[in-house]
């Protein structure tokens, strides 16, 4: 029953922490989001943090068990009872050394794991480009170096684990033997002998003392390592969330009367600065987008075109000015289109069970996707693969635009 409750507690902590991290990943700004970091926290750090409940209950239970064992040991061997604690104190110093050094090494290991997962995720998501550029061998060597660095960091943690395991096991091996030897010597000097019943009783009681003491010394370094996991989780959860400062108005009352109904987006004196360099990326932007209009934004590389688009989406907060929109439902086709794994038709319709076939066919023609569907082996039942790896770059972009057209009809 006890271990059943512990497993339930660990499962609850794992589920709660994973949900918190997932919700944070949905609200954090896209400019600070790191997929590899989220994956590492959800796997390595959550696994370590989920053991905190078990360590907490084991610690207080073993403490009371240790106290009871000491009382019984004093009744059996009198003033020799403190002898096992000499070894316990010696082993606790080793445990203290491990506790002081394992936290930084645990953080280093988690950071190395995060770097490897981030790089590997980026490579796997761009595998077609990696093969086309002929850099497969270079990427393999790069990932191998990251893996070697991770193994070196892991070895530091494993070394500390081996040290405190050795000290903890030494307690159970040497404490009973040393106590019995000293007790036998003292009994011989006093002209008496240690009988078998006393010896077996002492060994049994020593097991009640050394086992909880061993467990407590094992828990202490683990608790420090777990605190490092909690610190990484807390640091991520305390990252600033995305703040949507856009104003939503159905009529855009700030624009002239003749344009109120037609205006969809109004940008008034917007200035966007870089958070690191404190320099203006866009300055004093005045822009009004009307419903049904087509607006082209052109400029040199790095001039701020994507920044302007993300500001309209609310992903970037302007330092000055205001952005007014009529609806938060805005379709956006990024430079690197994101597509979930599934069939073409499922992706387009958002995995909805209700499909407007008439609008679906109209959107196919409007987005020039009918030719692409005719070339697919299974038409709109073709599986696009992870992040649309089975499609070309243009097909992925058209598929995302197509999705926006179909989804817009359900708004």
pLDDT given for residue 275 in this prediction: 66
Lowest-pLDDT choice from 185-199, 323-337, 386-400: 185-199
Query: Of all residues in the chain, what percent are helix, strand and coil, respectively (each to 5)?
Result: 65, 10, 25
Domain boundaries, the chain: 1-238, 247-325, 342-408
The number of beta carbons lying within 10 Å of the beta carbon of residue 71 is 13
Which tens digits make up the pLDDT trace of 290-299? 887 888 888 8
Give yes or no for a contact between 107 and 165, defined as CB atoms under 8 angstroms apart.
no
Q: Is residue 138's pLDDT more than 80?
A: yes
Most distant pair of Cα atoms in the chain: their distance? 114
Q: Can you give the length of the chain in residues? A: 411
Which has more pLDDT, 83 or 123?
Answer: 123
pLDDT given for residue 259 in this prediction: 47
For 34, 91, 210, 223, the CA distances from 98, given in Å and listed in that order, are 31, 11, 19, 11
Give the DSSP letter of residue 243: -
pLDDT given for residue 351 in this prediction: 63
pLDDT given for residue 276 in this prediction: 65
What is 1-238's CATH topology? ABC transporter transmembrane region fold (1.20.1560)
What's 247-325's CATH class? alpha beta
User: Residue 170 and residue 213: Cα distance in Å, rounded?
Assistant: 12
Which has more pLDDT, 151 or 252?
Answer: 151
Q: Which tokens in the block code for residue 374?
A: 């005719």
Q: Which strands sit side by side in the sheet containing 247-248, from one edge to the other?
A: 247-248, 320-325, 263-273, 280-290
For 86, 150, 170, 173, 222, the CA distances from 184, given in Å and listed in that order, are 18, 51, 21, 18, 37
């Amino acid at each position: 029953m006890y271990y059943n409750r512990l497993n339930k507690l660990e499962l609850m902590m794992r589920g709660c922490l994973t949900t918190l991290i997932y919700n944070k990943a949905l609200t954090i700004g896209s400019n600070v989001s790191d997929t590899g970091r989220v994956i590492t926290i959800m796997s390595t750090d959550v696994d370590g943090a989920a053991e905190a409940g078990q360590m907490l209950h084991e610690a207080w239970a073993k403490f009371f068990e240790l106290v009871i064992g000491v009382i019984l040991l004093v009744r059996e061997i009198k003033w020799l009872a403190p002898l096992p604690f000499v070894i316990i104190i010696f082993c606790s110093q080793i445990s203290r050394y491990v506790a002081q050094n394992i936290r930084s090494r645990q953080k280093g290991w988690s950071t190395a794991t995060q770097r490897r997962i981030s790089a590997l995720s980026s490579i796997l998501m761009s595998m077609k480009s990696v093969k086309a550029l002929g850099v497969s061998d270079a990427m393999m060597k790069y990932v191998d170096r990251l893996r070697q660095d991770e193994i070196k960091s892991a070895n530091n943690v494993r070394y500390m684990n081996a040290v405190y395991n050795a000290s903890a096991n030494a307690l159970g091996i040497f404490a009973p033997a040393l106590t019995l030897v000293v007790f036998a010597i003292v009994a011989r000097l006093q002209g008496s002998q240690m009988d078998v019943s006393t010896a077996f009783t002492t060994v049994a009681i020593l097991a009640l003392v050394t086992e909880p003491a061993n467990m407590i010394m094992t828990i202490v370094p683990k608790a420090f390592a777990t605190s490092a996991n909690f610190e990484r989780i807390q640091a991520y959860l305390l990252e600033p969330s995305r703040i949507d400062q856009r104003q939503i108005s159905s009529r855009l009352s700030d624009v002239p009367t003749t344009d109120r109904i037609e205006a969809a987006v109004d940008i008034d004196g917007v200035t966007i600065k870089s958070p690191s360099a404190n320099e203006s990326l866009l300055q004093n932007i005045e822009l009004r987008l009307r419903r049904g209009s087509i607006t082209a934004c052109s400029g040199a590389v790095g001039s701020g075109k994507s920044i302007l688009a993300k500001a309209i989406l609310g992903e970037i907060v302007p330092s000055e000015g205001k952005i007014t929109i009529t609806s938060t439902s805005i379709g956006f086709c990024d430079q690197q289109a994101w597509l979930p794994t599934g069939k073409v038709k499922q992706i387009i319709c958002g995995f909805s069970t209700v499909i407007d076939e008439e609008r679906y066919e109209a959107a196919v023609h409007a987005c020039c996707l009918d030719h692409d569907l005719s070339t697919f082996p299974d038409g709109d039942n073709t599986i696009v693969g992870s992040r649309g790896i089975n499609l070309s770059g243009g097909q992925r972009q058209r598929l995302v635009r197509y999705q926006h057209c179909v989804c817009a009809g359900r708004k």
